[in-house]
Amino acid sequence: MFNQDVIAALLAGEHDDPFAVLGMQRTADGLVVRALLPGACTVGVVERAGGREVATLDRVDGGDLFAGRIVGRDEPFAYRLRIDWGMHRQDLDDSYRFPPRLGDTDVWLLAEGTHLRPYEKLGAHPLEIDGVAGVGFAVWAPNAKRVSVVGGFNNWDGRRHMMRLRHECGVWETFIPDVAAGDRYKFEIRTQQGDVLLKCDPFAFRAEMRPATASVVNGLVPVTPADPARQRANALDAPISIYEVHAGSWRRVPDDGNRWLTYRELAGQLIPYVKEMGFTHIELLPLNEHPFDGSWGYQPTGLYAPTSRFGSPDDLRYFVETAHANGIGVLLDWVPAHFPTDAHGLAQFDGTCLYEHTDPREGFHHDWNTLIYNYGRKEVANYLTANALFWIERYGVDGLRVDAVSSMLYRDYSRAHDQWIPNRFGGRENLEAIDFLRSMNRIVCAERPSAITFAEESSSFPNVSRPLEMGGLGFHYKWNMGWMNDTLAYMAQDPVHRKYDHGKLTFGPFYAFSENFVLPLSHDEVVHGKGSILARMPGDDWQRFANLRAYYGFMWGHPGKKLLFMGCEFGQADEWQADRSLDWHLLANPLHSGVQRLVRDLNAVQRHYPALHRIDFDSRGFEWISHDDCENSVFSFIRRDDDGHVVLVICNFTPVPRHDYRIGVSAHGRYREIINTDAAIYGGSGIHNDDRLAEPVASHGRDCSLVLTVPPLATVMFELIG
């Protein structure tokens, strides 16, 4: 019935086409059933329709391979295997009797790398075939010699469920009856060199809690319908203020082993807090499954799996739905720039550099000791682009903040002159990565117009947030890293020296309209020895808090959307530590609670006054009044919208109050304070201005002016009320 080479290959798990041998086969001798069942004592064949046993299989050469003829039957039929394991008996549907699941169109699109939603076919999908419940598995591993699904359901034995190779697209697939949601599994891959690898599923929708590394069968969560209200809230002319959160350390439960909050607990605590504080969006550090807590999620091994640290995929959906029900958007940090070298992950996935570059000058990040995706490989680009769409469509997130874009754009990023390979034109730009980013943004925009993408891009690469038709990368927003660096350096100076660095605050508006900028004070600014934002402010306690409040007032007055990392809103004193909660007890101190109240009021003012958000990205929305008063370290400017609304912003970055300070204004009328960071309710000295009427006295090139008292270390905003 078999030659010895076939038997040896099957028993060793090395046969490259087990479906051609195992299961029910037509032969010259009639129908034959063959089964490889290590550990079985006897095996029978049972007709599925009536439950009648129609054959007993013989053990081949005393091994774990069983075979036998079906007497009196010419046509294949549905059957089960009746197995005596010694301690118990079991009837099982034979996975080798089921046909291929991937259709011709899927195979074609997967081979092209143009399948918009490959996650609907690849990975592990609970389904029913011919009335039999089980799971369909599929994985891309074109260079493997053999791929098997292993798990508790087959004693992690790679000989039990070997997969079928679809040569046209390099995908291996099989259907395994009786496997169900919650079962753990991996792919056992035999390389061409004979090595055996155990890999988690690149398309797994759920994974084990670290340090375990298996994938977990979980149904694909349903599509979340697009919401026009979310599209309006994400628009360029909307008031956007983002609260950046590390889910594992925003707040912990000290009475329960200092554990993390779950997704559902975060929905019940974080979302009401964000709503009360007036933020419009929550941005979560990466929630993709990752093996090392200390990476904060930025080294993911499971791009399609929400981390199990905080609960199930359904729990995460509940969090997003709760946020939307409360008018809060949800953004996810997303990491297509690199992946870790962990043995169970994508590295050398099928024994070759499948997802990464072969040459370390292209494929290895020395900064993070990680591997770089090969964006020029169509299947890899497809894997990543589909992942972006997956989070937006399936979990309903409003957008993605793409991490480390600069490292993707340049081949020589953080490399010595002899440690990188030029592009085909001899340049330093990573043309394949650029094409990938443009394609990803195009597809996201076309498939879910309400979604937005943000680039964390720290270089001067042009047109990052410009449309594709204008030659841009197609992002909706770009983080303004230059603004962040300049302004923090300015604020760290003793006020007596700030006049020498005046340009660090006046430089921003010169390029503020070249991109759609977000002003970020992110987690990167409160780690690695940098201290907290509050700790960078000079002076005694009162001055440090006054500086911080003045800085936030300047930030909210400046063109651009806003982003603040958790804890910064109440003046977290210590550097952020990812393994413990924020210092919520500080709110018992009026100075800390004053900062918190100020941030809440700044968000309310930004929302209420269109001049502070409507045309953030157009120079018509900003006008300097005075940018050259370096001796007093005072800045003044106007924000406006197209409907004639005006907000006047004045910043004094010295501890000296400026009495009878004249400011030129363009419009006659009465001006009223709408925010004053020196107000007593925020912990300030309480110097303020009653309503002021513009005088017909020329100043700063304008026909009329106001005479004000500008409080010390403070930002004051005024509205024109008529």
Cα of 175 vs its chain's centroid, Å: 31
d(CA 51, CA 34): 19
| Number of neighbours of residue 325 by Cβ within 10 angstroms | 10
d(CA 204, CA 213): 11
630-633 long-range CB contacts below 8 Å, 24 or more apart?
Answer: 630/499, 630/500, 630/502, 631/499, 632/656, 632/658, 633/495, 633/498, 633/499, 633/502
d(CA 614, CA 603): 14
Nearest to 460 by CA among 403, 515, 395, 533: 515
Token look-up 């120079």 returns: 619
| Number of neighbours of residue 570 by Cβ within 10 angstroms | 24
SS (H, E, C) 460-499: CCCCCCCCHHHCCCCCCEEECHHHHHHHHHHHCCCHHHHH
Two structure tokens written together for 112: 């092209």
Strand boundaries in 249-387, DSSP class E:
252-253, 259-260, 281-284, 288-289, 302-306, 329-334, 364-365, 370-371
Q: What is the longest distance spanned by two Cα atoms in the chain?
A: 110
Amino acid letter, residue 461: F
What residues contact 333, with CB distance under 8 A and at least 6 apart? 283, 284, 285, 286, 297, 298, 400, 401, 403
Return the active site residues.
403, 456
**Are residues 578 and 286 in contact, defined by beta-carbon separation less than 8 angstroms?**
no
d(CA 633, CA 551): 13
Nearest to 334 by CA among 442, 210, 437: 437
Q: Which helix (H) or strand (E) holds 673?
A: strand 670-676
Nearest to 2 by CA among 46, 27, 45, 72: 27
Name the pairing type of β-strands 215-216 and 517-521.
Answer: unpaired
Nearest to 416 by CA among 360, 455, 456, 468: 360
**Are residues 576 and 634 in contact, defined by beta-carbon separation less than 8 angstroms?**
no
Burial class of residue 52 (count of CB atoms within 10 Å of its CB; 0-12, 13-18, 19+): exposed
Two structure tokens written together for 478: 């770009």
